[in-house]
Amino acid sequence: MALALEQAHLAAAAGEVPVGAVVVKNGQVIATGRNAPIASHDPTAHAEVVALREAARVLGNYRLEGCTLYVTLEPCAMCSGAMLHARVDRVVFGANDSRTGVAGSVLNLFDHTQLNHQTQVAGGKVEAGTTREFGYAEVRAHGHTELLKGIEDFATAEGQGMLKVWIRYGDKVTAMPAGFKVMAFTPACPIAGMADDARRFYAVQFHPEVTHTVQGQALLNRFVLDICQARPDWIMGDYIVEAVAKIRE
């Protein structure tokens, strides 16, 4: 999203409506775009469409399966339709658009199951925080979620489950995407974790992968083995065998 914001700043500097977009596949940025209808005399030159065109050119395919599009503003009907036609897997937008947004504000074009492709949508809102937190923290589990069920380091006198974690953040989530609920929080971070059990989506502000998070291994095991139902049938030795075989080829 930070790269999309950079594109939005470039659009503003050029006298355009400040919207920027980025297309990512397999963790790699493959295309960027920014609003350019005024300069290009093209009413379709919205940031999303510009980015989709470039991504299709780079991949050599108009179908962008496996791609995620990040955009600073909730997409309009034209751009949303383009994403659906391109078979984009997911769209993540920064700010709601109460005038033309069709990812939930005016209507939700992505929620129509009659369409032959469904693009997942993630919205919400992130703002710069007035406080920063880095280091040890005690996070309170909130509600009942599949990820944290039965996992805690200790309980308060009121019976509230607590986790000892290593946390790091400067920005803060102030509005969650549709379908999510608060999963964990601290006094300084009201949304330290959120969950959408129905879609099996989870997000945390702390680091489960480090030893400082005492139940980190249990959280990762719960997600990978129980929620994703992956099989633990691969070891590092398998990578060595595979790598040697590829070199010999």
Q: For residue range 66-88, list pLDDT tens digits in order.
A: 999 999 999 999 999 999 999 99
Full DSSP string of 149-170: TT--SEE-TT--EEEEEEEEEE
pLDDT category at 124 given cuts 50, 70, 90 is confident
* Gyration radius from the chain CA atoms: 21
Mean pLDDT score of the chain, rounded to an integer? 92
Whether this model's pTM surpasses 0.75 = no
pLDDT category at 179 given cuts 50, 70, 90 is confident
- d(CA 1, CA 129) in angstroms, rounded, equals 17
- d(CA 206, CA 17) in angstroms, rounded, equals 35
- Are residues 46 and 79 in contact, defined by beta-carbon separation less than 8 angstroms? yes
- Are residues 173 and 191 in contact, defined by beta-carbon separation less than 8 angstroms? yes
pLDDT category at 22 given cuts 50, 70, 90 is very high
